[in-house]
């Protein structure tokens, strides 16, 4: 795991956007497309706004979601709502290249299978993304892989569901899907993250974030999170 400590959240967001832009251009040149899955959060929304201004080959870029809350379309709790505001409404990406988690379907388990099939159609079998962006909560969760949830133990599927966590059920990528990524990019900001950041650096498998593969991981953290 490579760790880069930056002055503040704005610097983290800017550096992340620059890294993603470089990876996108390289992937399109090498393989004809760039596949990225993004998480939610305030620093990532800044990152996405920075990315929108970078003049990327959007016709060759696919964007998926790392996780999503079960809430109506346009709800402020939805990561997709902020993804649209921060990035999708600002760039000429093809609508069919935006792969939103189907959390509005009545049968969420069917939605899980639907999204797993989408990932395979976009990224192969098994699906491999060029970059998966992750954050980390003060409780050590990442994506919506939260402490105590059965989804932590899903090893035979790429997508799963949680129970209620902070008043919402969530759809999430699982460890197998995340750990196959060519690169994992962590954005960790805020002083409340200090204890879990220390445990992440130790690959502490007793927290959900500690079970993510570290060989291809880059961490961008601000000084507050680094303690």
Q: Identify whether 220 is part of a domain.
A: no
The CATH number assigned to the domain holding 136 equals 3.40.50.1360
170: which strand partners?
69
Task: Let me know if residue 210 belongs to a domain.
Answer: no
Across the chain, what does the average pLDDT equal?
A: 97
User: Is residue 142, in this structure, part of any structural domain at all?
Assistant: yes
**Beta-strand pair 98-99/67-69:** unpaired
pLDDT, tens only, 74-130: 999 999 999 999 999 999 999 999 999 999 999 999 999 999 999 999 999 999 999
Whether residue 219 is contained in a domain is answered as no
- Give residue 138's pLDDT band: very low, low, confident or very high (50, 70, 90): very high
Per residue in 203-220, pLDDT (tens digit) is 999 999 999 999 999 999
pLDDT tens-digit readout, 177-190: 999 999 999 999 99
pLDDT average, residue stretch 149-170: 96
pLDDT (average), residues 123-148: 97
Asked if residue 52 belongs to a domain, the reply is yes
The Cβ of residue 2 has, within 10 Å, a number of other Cβ atoms equal to 9
Question: Could you tell me if 130 and 34 are in contact, meaning their C-beta atoms sit under 8 angstroms apart?
Answer: yes
**36 with 132: CB under 8 angstroms?**
yes
In a domain, 221, yes or no: no
Q: Report yes or no on 214 lying in a domain.
A: no
> 64 lies in a domain?
yes
pLDDT digits (tens, 9 = 90+) for 35-56: 999 999 999 999 999 999 999 9
The span from the CA of 205 to the CA of 227, in Å, is 21
In this prediction, residue 7 carries a pLDDT of 98
Range of the domain at 67: 2-205
What's the total number of domains in the chain?
Answer: 1
| Nearest alpha-carbon partner for 51 in 8, 4, 87 | 87
126: preceding bond cis by omega (within 30 degrees): yes
């Amino acid at each position: 795991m490579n760790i880069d400590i930056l002055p503040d959240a704005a610097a983290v967001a800017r550096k992340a956007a620059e890294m993603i832009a470089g990876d996108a251009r390289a992937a399109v040149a090498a393989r004809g497309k760039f596949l990225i899955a993004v998480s939610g959060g305030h620093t990532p929304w800044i990152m996405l706004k920075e990315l929108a201004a970078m003049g990327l080959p959007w016709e060759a870029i696919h964007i998926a979601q790392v996780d999503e809350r079960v809430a109506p379309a346009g709800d402020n709790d939805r990561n997709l709502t902020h993804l649209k505001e921060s990035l999708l409404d600002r760039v000429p990406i093809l609508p069919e290249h935006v792969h939103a988690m189907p959390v509005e379907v009545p049968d969420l388990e069917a939605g899980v299978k639907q999204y797993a099939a989408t990932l395979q159609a976009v990224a192969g079998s098994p699906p491999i993304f060029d970059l998966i962006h992750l954050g980390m909560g003060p409780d050590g969760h990442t994506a919506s892989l939260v402490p105590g949830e059965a989804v932590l133990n899903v090893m035979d599927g790429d997508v799963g569901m949680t129970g209620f966590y902070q008043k919402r059920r969530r759809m999430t990528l699982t460890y197998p899907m995340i750990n196959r990524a060519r690169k994992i990019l962590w954005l960790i900001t805020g002083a409340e993250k200090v204890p879990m950041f220390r445990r992440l650096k130790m690959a502490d498998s007793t927290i959900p974030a500690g079970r993510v593969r570290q060989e291809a991981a880059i961490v961008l953290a601000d000084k507050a999170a680094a303690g």
